[in-house]
Every structure is written in C-alpha cells, then in structure tokens.
Amino acid sequence: MVDRKGQRRVVVTGLGVVTPIGLTVPDFWASMRASKCGVTQLGALPQEDLDDLKIKIGAQIKDFDAKARLRHFKRDKFILHSDRYSWFAAAAADEAVTQSGLTVPFEKGSRAACIIGSGAGGLTTFENAYRDLFILKKKATHPLTLIRIIGSSASAHVGIEYGVKGPTFATCSACSTAAHAIGIARDYIRHGLVDVAICGASESVINYGTMKAWQALHVLSPEGCFPFAKNRNGTVLGEGAGILVLESYEHAKARGAKILAEICGFGMTSDADDMVNPDIEGPRNAMRLALEDAGIAPTDIDYLNAHGTGTTLNDRNETNAIKDLFGKHAYKMPVSSTKSMHGHPLGAGGGIEAVACIKAMEDNWMPPTIGLNEPDPDCDLDYIPNVGREKKLSYTMSNSFAFGGLNAVLVFGRPPA
C-alpha cells in the first residue's frame, strides 16, 4: 500500500517506555489516566551533592531493576555492564519488539534499522569517571568507560540483541532527538531502504554535574513542572526512554501483525536564530511541513501533544506558533503537555510523547496537563487542565522543539483500513 505520493506507508507495531510514572506502557498509561505526577525530591545522589544543589527535585526513575528487565538478553553480552541510558533504551526496545511479534533475531537483519538517539549519552558514566580520577585519585577508570559514554551505545546494544544489520546509529538534537530518530526511521522505510526499524531515544542525566549546569541556565523550577500555568517558573529534568517499532504496511500485513497506528507526517526545521530563545517561524513551519507531508488540513488534528516545558518563554512561544498555523481551529483543538507528569526527559521526550499520542488514539482519551489551576492569559488554548478527556481521535500531533532552534514534529493516524 502506498500513500498519495506513491510512497510506502509506514505503520507502528510496537511501543515501549521506561518513565518516572511507569516502567512499561500499561503502567505509564494507567498513571496518565490517573493524572499521576512523577516529580519528587531527588534521591540516589550523595548527600554532599544534594546539599550543594539549589534545585532538589526531578522526575527520576527510582525502581528500575536492570538485571530483572534485561537478564534474558542473549546476543548482547555487555548490556548489564552498560550505562543507565542504555539500560532504559534496551528495556523499552524489548517491550516494543515483544509487542510487535517480530521473530528475533530478525530474519532479515540487513533490511532492519536501529536508530536510537540521546541528547547527552552516558553522562552518569562521565561523572563517575571524573570522580574516580579527580576526587578519589584513582589511576584509571572502569575498562568499559569509553563504551558506556558513547551516544550511539544504546542503538548498538539494541541492534546487537535483535540482529539489526542495516543502518544503526544515534541521533542527537537535544530535546528533538527522539522525534528526529522516528522521522528518519520512517523515511528509511518509506523509501525502501529497510522494512523494519527500532527507533526513539533514551536519556539518563540526573546527576550533580548536569543539575549544576541546568541551574546555571536558570530554567529549572524548584517547585514542579506546570506548563502553560500563570505560576510556571521553569522545567523539571526527567529521564527515561520511548521506543517504537516501525514497519512498512506490506511487511506488517504479510506477517499478520497488529497495527497500532500509522506515521502519516514528519516535519523538521531550524530557527537559525538563537541557541536558547525560540522563535515562532521555526516551530510553525515544522508543524506545517508535518501536515503537508501527511496530506491533511490543520483542522484534521484532533489532539496536539505540546512540547510544553513549563518555561515562561517556551510555552508562550509554542502557543503563538500553534495559533499562527491553526488559526481558529487552535481554540477548538485540545492540547496538553504530558511533561507535567513525567518531567522533561530531554532527548527521550519525543519518544515517550509519541507513545502517549498513539495510546490516546487507541483509547480515544487525551491525557491532561496537570498543575494547570490558573492559565497564563498569554496561553489561552484548551490545554486539558488536570483531568484527561474522552474524544474520538483520528489524527494526533507531537511537537518537539530543542535548544539551538531544532524543531521536529510527528503526525500519527489510525491504522490504515
């Protein structure tokens, strides 16, 4: 089956997540339906580090057992010795591949891709290595330090486990990383380079050095992540992974797979303006390109999962970009930021939020923006405050806008008839 441009249609057959509000997709979705907040006081950091931090909250994953989740891995002998971000990626990929029902290792590995990005890579390993060298005065770091820190390690680990012999690499575009990975994987399948792809992103960055760096930029909130709210005062760092399994429609149908959704559109732009402050043109054009790629009108979008970080400038700018593109429909279209629940997992955000968009269509239920008790007058759209809402959904959009003005937007539709 081809689309209106004569290109292969690309569908989703597997979902996987590891998040602060659920270590699997069912638990993650149940937490969203309960409006659960994953932001807590920081844990598992040395007390002297906590004492020196001004921001002491984060959306951490505290109950993840790598041995329990990954002990059955057979081909990748190093996964349990990898960095935490690779653990999250491997666990989410395992859930997605299991749901897809694909035979593993993949029967045609050369016709598969594994594109799993990270905005930061193995930052936890970096910090531990520096502690060993400069504070504890050790003569050497762990022998696997180099392998752990590489930003493409997660994609390599997952590729090894599932026998992926086609394109295997990482994307890195700050907070747009996962969306770029998913969009590129979609294009590889659409144009016939591969038939199957594992794609998304993973992040584990909550440590002393990262918290100090984000504090210095003055964009972290000491209280919580409250997108579009009048009292918002910054974002909250999170961690986790969001992974999709994609296939060409023909490949999925031929093996009798259950199709969860279709990736209908993808748009990406760069502001080419400022490293920190966003503009309206770049995000607006990324959304426009995604709609044009999908061949649908702005009025066809039933729900938009916003980038919605909870920072003053970002939320106002995204609101204006949405209004600029969608016009009157902007005020009729429900929008929410799920970062209010799972925090801001940087590069992994677009993967986790893609899962939220697909589950929203599956259940005809839209997740809320929690903590939105008094909206900012400048943010005057329908942000689904505090409690989710039922609605028949045909198309959903997911926005990812990053430092450097790097924008990536995905449009999902229901499974092809």
Residues annotated as catalytic are 175, 307, 344
CA distance 383 to 375: 9
Strands 112-117 vs 168-169: parallel, antiparallel or unpaired:
parallel
Residue 345 in contact with residue 396, Cβ under 8 Å?
no
Q: Sign of the CA dihedral 66, 244, 115, 279?
A: negative
Report which DSSP code applies to 415.
P
Among 164, 160, 179, 158, residue whose Cα is nearest residue 96:
158
Nearest to 203 by CA among 70, 56, 347, 372: 347
Q: Which residues of 66-83 are buried (b: 16+ CB within 10 A; e: fewer)?
A: beebbeebeebeebeebb
Beta bridge partners of 303: 396
CB-based burial of residue 54 (10 Å sphere; 0-12 exposed, 13-18 middle, 19+ buried)? Answer: exposed
